[in-house]
């Protein structure tokens, strides 16, 4: 069983048009198109036999310099694959390694004696050399690699950001192509605010600004609170209360001003909100706390009416904005806190169900 192509996706008249106007096509463009459309088990240039590929490459014996990439395309009626002829790469011609009199001899045998033996013999090597030449070019082009499902270029770039193995791919709602696009930011050890700003601004196509040193209150665990004993010194290591104010470990992402559709697309539970969380975790990790400030253009605010699609605390408004900017910037969303609360509620609910099931299975006491 040969490793032939799957069902071809080529247009029915593709080879006819290519044979009629070969000078209008580029060598790289034609082979790239065939490689992508035929979906071979191995890409062009990686197969072990010419029978595994849907065409044949050959060089036309000629003394002229190549005026174009392709010279001729021959379509065969006996089921043989089409033959693509070129001039500029191979053993023959003024740029070839063989002496010129051999090129003249091969051409003479074809045109005066209808003998293609010498040319057909060298075409065995030409097909292999030309397809290898194309594969070397295609492997160095990142855009060409996207035509195939297993792109080596994607593996090269993905190895810099932890996506070099198959198990690391498709682990969240963000496409791997987007992560590769921002690999220059993700591979750096120093994660500055400018990198996150550019990533979010480019990915979501909205204005983004990051504010650093946002104040927050950090809760102190009960076993770490200050107590009256001999080791506590007032003004040195004594903390009064259950919380401490901190301005070093939280930042804020400002999104906007945007229209109403973009504004609502970042509400909790939406696709953009989920991807925003994943982008921040991918870039920053879990070291810093953060929240989001959504800014709505004043012209898209409108009035809240009963029975409409207004969410209390998110997209419902009362009164008028008296600020000079006229943009609504009073919505702050802490996605991480909402996620923690949701996980905590789910854990409580699951615990309640487990306790109820245990009570129902317990034996009943009899008098």
Handedness of CA 342, 344, 350, 353 (dihedral sign): negative
pLDDT at 324: 56
Q: Are 243 and 219 in contact (CB under 8 A)?
A: yes
pLDDT at 354: 61
Instruction: State the burial class of residue 19 (Cβ atoms within 10 Å of its Cβ: 0-12, 13-18, 19+).
Output: middle
pLDDT at 295: 94
SS3 305: coil
pLDDT at 81: 92
pLDDT at 66: 83
Sorted by where each begins, the domain ranges of the chain are: 14-145, 190-213+248-351
Instruction: Report the DSSP beta bridge partners of residue 296.
Output: 258, 328
Query: For each successive 10 residues of the chain (367 residues), what is the average pLDDT?
Result: 52 91 92 88 87 92 88 89 92 92 94 93 95 92 81 85 87 91 92 96 97 93 82 81 92 95 94 96 93 91 68 72 71 90 81 61 46
pLDDT at 366: 40
pLDDT at 353: 64
pLDDT at 48: 86
Question: Which ranges constitute the DSSP H helices of the chain?
Answer: 14-20, 27-38, 100-113, 117-139, 142-145, 152-158, 176-181, 183-186, 193-204, 260-264, 271-283, 335-361
The structure tokens listed for 96 are 């070839």
pLDDT at 323: 57
């Amino acid at each position: 069983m040969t490793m032939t192509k799957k069902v071809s996706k080529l247009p029915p008249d593709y080879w006819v048009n290519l044979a009629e106007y070969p000078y209008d096509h580029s060598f790289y463009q034609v082979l790239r198109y065939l490689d992508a459309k035929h979906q071979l088990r191995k890409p062009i240039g990686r197969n072990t036999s010419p029978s595994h590929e849907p065409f044949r490459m050959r060089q036309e014996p000629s003394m002229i310099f190549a005026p174009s990439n392709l010279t001729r395309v021959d379509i065969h009626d006996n089921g043989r694959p089409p033959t693509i002829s070129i001039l500029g790469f191979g053993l023959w011609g003024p740029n070839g390694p063989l002496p010129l009199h051999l090129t003249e001899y091969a051409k003479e045998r074809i045109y005066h004696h209808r003998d293609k033996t010498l040319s057909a013999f060298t075409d065995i090597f030409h097909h292999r050399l030309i397809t290898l030449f194309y594969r070397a070019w295609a492997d160095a082009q990142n855009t060409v690699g996207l035509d195939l499902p297993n792109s080596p270029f994607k593996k090269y770039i993905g190895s810099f950001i932890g996506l070099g193995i198959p198990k690391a791919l498709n682990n969240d709602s963000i496409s791997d192509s987007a992560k590769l696009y921002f690999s220059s930011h993700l591979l750096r050890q120093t994660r500055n605010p400018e990198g996150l700003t550019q990533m979010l601004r480019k990915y979501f196509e909205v204005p983004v600004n990051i504010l650093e040193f946002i104040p927050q209150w950090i809760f102190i665990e009960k076993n770490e609170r200050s107590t009256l004993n001999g080791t506590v010194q007032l003004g040195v290591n004594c903390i009064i209360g259950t919380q401490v104010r901190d301005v070093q470990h939280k930042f804020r992402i400002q999104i906007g001003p945007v229209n109403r559709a973009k504004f609502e697309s970042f509400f909790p539970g939406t696709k953009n909100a989920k991807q925003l969380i994943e982008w921040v975790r991918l870039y920053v990790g879990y070291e810093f706390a953060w929240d989001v400030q959504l800014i709505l253009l004043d012209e898209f605010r409108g009035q809240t009416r009963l029975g409409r699609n207004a969410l209390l605390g998110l997209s419902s408004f009362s009164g008028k904005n008296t600020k000079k900017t006229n943009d609504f910037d009073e919505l702050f969303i802490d996605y991480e806190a909402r996620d923690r609360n949701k996980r905590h509620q789910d854990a409580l609910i699951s615990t309640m169900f487990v306790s109820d099931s245990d009570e129902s299975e317990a034996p009943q006491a009899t008098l």
